[in-house]
A and B are shown apart, each in its own frame.
Chain A
Amino acid sequence: MFGSFIKKSRAKSPWIIHFDCGSCNGCDIEVLACLTPLYDIERFGIINVGNPKHADVLLVTGTVNHRNKKVLKNIYDQMSEPKAVIAIGACGNTGGVFRECYNVVGGIDKVIPVDVYVPGCPAKPEAIIDGVVVGLGKFAQKVEEAK
């Protein structure tokens, strides 16, 4: 009984950490907009924590470059299982307009495994909330498969 309550709780209490991996801040502003009274993501139990050790979902905006790919990997490794990664915006998904730049590695998935891609430039808050909800479904599935 307690096991099923834990399973149910995972989807009801996703704590997110947001990492700006070289974004233009467009997507970051939209991520933070989700926390405002207008969208109020706390009604889904979502809390924006500043600590990877407490987080369940990693939201990454912007392209990865050679400087910050280690930082991204480090933050991802500090999160405890089960966890999900959501790439936000055109740059996070593929590298966007910067993908050909000499200093750009590309999208987030070049460094860490990504569960959900949220498109947009910048991504809309509604799309980000949708992405988190889909991401939760995915990580519930991952936990099932791991057993």
Chain B
Amino acid sequence: MDTLIFVVIGLVAGPLLGGFIAGLDRRVTAWFQSRQGPPIMQPFYDVAKLLGKEKMVVNQWQILCAWVYMIAAAVSVALFFAQSDLLLIFFVQAIGAVFLVMGAMAAKSPYSQVGAQRELMQILAYEPVLILVCVGFYMVTGSFSIEAIWQQDMPLLARMPLLYLALGYALTIKLRKSPFDFSTSHHGHQELVKGLLTEYSGPYLALIEIAHWYETVLVLGLCSLFWHTNVVWMAVLLIVTYMLEILVDNTMARMTWRWMLKRVWLIGMGLSVVNLIWLYTG
């Protein structure tokens, strides 16, 4: 029964929290650029407007793919709130990510195609990092279940600091922030117009935006597990992490996928593996 309540809380709070974070993000970014910026509620206005627009699709695949992406993201957040298995959450999330790419590939537009190829590269970069983080949790707690993490009496950050840094790479890629925003950007547009999202429009774009909020909450939730012992420190950790993300987004240029693969695989996975060896021997 408790699990069901948590699931409902996750499903409702996920998009609300994600939208609020997106609105805050735009405000802080505007502040960095000495602008006033849109109201905090702006992402909700955007999505509501998109939901009210005429439905236009290139082909039926896009409808299916947008829905599967949204449902997979929502289910992964629901599973997270139900204290489920980390590997299961990871695979459900990966299904959504792949469907998003498939929908973009279904349209013949070159922007959408190139965006989809780049998104595949991004998935190739961040998914191994996510799975290594899950392995780190396993090495510490002896289980992939989130429940086992809550039974620990020390913050996991003390034992997996390098894995947390590696997770930062995954978070930046997942949030579509510079220097990794080359498949599509969370800003107005980039060199591929809107890359991966070019051919999604109206209500389907709204679904993808909601799914993006769910995923933001999921990855930030993963970050929060690193300091589960104290709610205040968990909040501090999340705020500091997100502020750093915004700072990185505003101070970095957009790089290429080759640069990303080199950095994330060498540094990100290097950090992860060093941390795992440390956990293994320690």
Contact = CB atoms under 8 A, between A and B. Distances in A.
A54 to B, nearest CB: 6
Nearest to B203: A80
A5 B47 CA distance: 11
Nearest to B48: A9
Contacts of B34: 37
Interface in A44-72: 44-45, 47-51, 53-54, 56
B110 to A, nearest CB: 13
Contacts of A2: 48
A5 B51 CA distance: 11
Interface string A69-84: 0000000000011100
Contact of A40 (B37, B51, B54, B199): B37
Given A13-B46, A53-B199, A48 B188 contact: yes
B226 to A, nearest CB: 34
A7 interface: yes
A15 B193 CA distance: 14
B35 A37 contact: yes
Contacts of A37: 33-35
B52 interface: yes
A99 interface: no
A51 B52 contact: no
Interface string A27-47: 000000000010010111101
A6 B194 contact: no
Contacts of B37: 40, 42-43
A10 interface: yes
Contacts of A42: 26, 30, 35, 37-38
Contacts of B53: 56, 80-82
Contact of B38 (A5, A44, A49, A82): A44
A25 to B, nearest CB: 19
B120 interface: no
For chain B, what secondary structure do more than half of its interface residues adopt (helix, strand, loop), or is it mixed?
loop
B189 A13 contact: no
Contact of B30 (A8, A9, A40): A40
Contacts of B262: none
A53 B35 contact: no
A55 to B, nearest CB: 9
A54 B47 CA distance: 12
Interface core residue of A37, A48, A54, A82 (most chain B CB under 10 Å): A54
Contacts of B193: 50-51
Nearest to B198: A51
B49 A56 contact: yes
A50 B194 contact: yes
Interface in B168-209: 188-189, 193-194, 198-199, 201-202, 205
A49 B188 contact: yes
Contact of B56 (A40, A44, A80): A80
11 contacts: A9-B44, A10-B49, A13-B46, A40-B35, A43-B37, A45-B46, A50-B189, A50-B194, A51-B193, A54-B201, A56-B53
